[in-house]
Amino acid sequence: MSENPLQLLMNPKSIAVAGASNTPTKMGTIQSLSLLKDGYAGKLYFVHPTEKTILGITAYATPQDLPEVPDLALLIVPIKAVLSLLEDFGKIGTKRAIVVTAGFRETGDAGQDMENKLNEVARRYGIRFVGPNCLGVINSQICLNTTVYPFPPNPGLLGLASQSGTYVTQVLPMLRKKGIRFSKAISLGNEANIDIADALEFLGADEQTKAIILYIEGIRDGRRFIEIARKVTPHKPVLAQYVGGSVSGARAGMSHTGALSGPDFLYDGIFKQAGIIRVGSVEDLYDHGWTLATQPLPRGRRVAVITNSGGPSSSISYTCDLVGLEVPRFSAGLQEEIRKYLQPHAASANPVDLTFHMGMEKLAVTIPEIIIRSGEVDALIMHGIMRSGFLREIYNHVSDYIKGASFEEFLSFSEPVIKEVFELPRKYNIPLIISSFFGQEDSYTKGFQENNIPVFHSPEKTARALGALYHYKLIRERKPGKENPLPKISPLAVRILQQAKKNGQKALDEYTAKKLLAAYGLPVTKEKLVKTQEEALEAATKIGYPVALKACHWQIMHKSGKGLIALQIESAAKLKVAFKDIQKAAGEKVPVLVQKMLAGNREFLAGMTRFAGFGACVVFGLGGVFTEIHHDATIRMAPLTAADTKEMFADIRARKLLDEYRGMPQVEKDKLSEILQTIGNISLLHPEIAEIDLNPIIISGAKPVVADALIVLEG
């Protein structure tokens, strides 16, 4: 396996900056000052056509004048100079670059042409680069900061790859207030060369990085991204915010399946398939990522809530329930032990509410340790641990009554910070998350942050962050799916598709589609294609009443609500009427499918549609005529494993219908799983198929049977 291109780019021993000057407000100068002031210990060179020194350091007119070949070139120059400069660096042997300059693909066709030329230069000289249109990188391990914001020399644990430069740079002051520190951060820009899959692979292998967060607006090489993610997530948490799935970006398909499969729906499914935790806001991205980077995984979902206030305890408990955690009632013995340290009116059952109490030892250490040692919980959330922040708030009110004592003297009257609370997660290998309305002005908040214990400024956020931690525990416990080899291509399927192409068809009719499906072992309805009423009567007699009649032609892709279907036909007389009605509704003579009427009250759908970058993706959900109203479906990328289909069954809201329900037997899920896996296999074996729509799949007794099928062809 070749070395990830970011390995050298993020660990350069020498850097040449093109675009800096002696004007401190210029972007190139600001980024150079980040390198100089934030502790980078490697060699730093400046390239400038006229300046002799920049920021007190010798400048060189061209890359060829440099005293050595730099590992990394940082280009912050006008767009017209980028290509020639990158070529000059390529000629001297520089192999990595960061192109900060904007004005490429994001500006339109002319910019795309410039970006193509940039890639041509890079390929010619074997250069790998980040950007263009990016804001650089951070490697806290070696104090490397090429961005416009200062980054204190304090190594962190959270890795970030972002398609927005803002989320690498402008957020840094906010993150400092939260105590969140990057291990590595990469602004990817246009991803003309190094992309988000490269960044995920690099961060996945980085020992300093304990959790990875991704800000994503789109993924071009989805298959490679998912392949890498599936290798990373079993041993390192990955969280993502995806914002490219609006209605305006949705793909409209010809089948029901295509209509269901907008990009947001797609990313939901593939993130689950890869073990990536999706978050809804950039704030949650950092907060939940930091929790996963710093806290041990809980053994289970039982949470102890310890507070000095009833409101926060209720908010935390309620939110815990919403995110799949449990706040269990403590045993009588544990409650009795806790009550020794509580006032008579305080609650001990869980949540433990000391009510307003300024003696922090009970709240911060004594009671938590009793609870941890009991073995009745798997994680702790605590609210109300405070000292200097609270005392500062009340100082003005009490100063007149303490004989003019300074705030520092007033502070000394209270008990000192109990540092043992900061050791609880490490001492007991149990996650601890703090809720507090105070920031770093409070000595406890500052202490928690310095010891990598997350602090949130709302009780609900605290519970949601712990929910993410528990979610990752479940991901870690997933059994890996076994990917089976693709079956042999069916000669019958090949002949069907070749004939359809020869005929100029855009789709297969239902009868032919089912023949193709049956060639790969899918269970389909007993049926016969007829052209005349007499043939229909003969077919119905052989199949056995009741039957269904359907117009059957490849140009009729959707029949519901158009008079082209007749169901529950129980006699020859009714069949004659239905046959005539269908011909009349069609407006011309069309073949008719005579189909055994299946008995079953449960209907599902399965299908396949293709997406750029991801290829064939399989959909499963609630089926029938109200499919697009209920919109209860999920999606995964083909090929599927049995583990994938099991998760798909659990995804839908109507999942209880798959089990015993109101006298109906449990669905044969192994057979349903085979249908989904086979759809994926068919799509990989036959790339000329654009979409597959099996709706409904009727559960007849316990067996799933494909009752209707549409196969749409490429082109």
CA nearest 9: which of 140, 165, 137, 124?
A: 137
What is the reported pTM?
0.93
Please give the pLDDT value at position 249. 40
352-353 and 432-435 strand pairing? unpaired
pLDDT single digits (tens) 450-503? 999 999 999 999 999 999 999 999 999 998 888 889 999 999 999 999 999 999
CA nearest 282: which of 209, 226, 214?
A: 214
CA nearest 563: which of 585, 589, 590, 536?
A: 585
Number of residues that make up the chain: 715
238-242 and 432-435 strand pairing? unpaired
Measured in degrees and rounded to the nearest 5, phi and psi for residue 283 equal -65, -45
Coil/strand/helix, residue 698: strand
For the chain of 715 residues, list the mean pLDDT of each consecutive stretch of 10: 91 97 94 96 96 95 98 97 97 98 91 95 98 96 96 92 95 96 97 97 98 94 95 97 65 43 82 96 97 98 94 96 97 96 89 83 95 98 93 86 84 88 97 96 96 97 98 94 91 98 96 98 97 96 96 86 90 96 92 94 94 94 80 95 96 95 94 98 98 96 96 91
Non-local (6+) Cβ contacts of 109 within 8 A are none
Instruction: Give the whole-angstrom CA distance, residue 566 versus residue 585.
Output: 11
Coil/strand/helix, residue 178: helix
Cα 151–152–158 angle (5° rounding)?
70
Instruction: Give the whole-angstrom CA distance, residue 184 versus residue 202.
Output: 10
Instruction: Give the whole-angstrom CA distance, residue 209 versus residue 238.
Output: 11
Cα 443–447–451 angle (5° rounding)?
175
Instruction: Give the whole-angstrom CA distance, residue 41 versus residue 14.
Output: 9
703-706 and 689-700 strand pairing? antiparallel
What does the block give as tokens for 564? 């082209």
Non-local (6+) Cβ contacts of 173 within 8 A are 149
**Helix extents (H) in 233-387:** 256-260, 263-274, 282-294, 310-322, 332-339, 360-361, 367-374
Tokens 């990830």: give the residue.
4
Q: How far is CA 566 from CA 302, 580, 591, 600, in A?
A: 54, 11, 14, 17
Instruction: Give the whole-angstrom CA distance, residue 238 versus residue 349.
Output: 35
- What is the Cβ-side half-sphere exposure of residue 159, based on CA atoms within 13 angstroms? 23
Q: Which domains does the chain have, with CATH numbers?
A: 5-209 (3.40.50.720), 297-476 (3.40.50.261), 526-596 (3.30.1490.20), 602-713 (3.30.470.20)
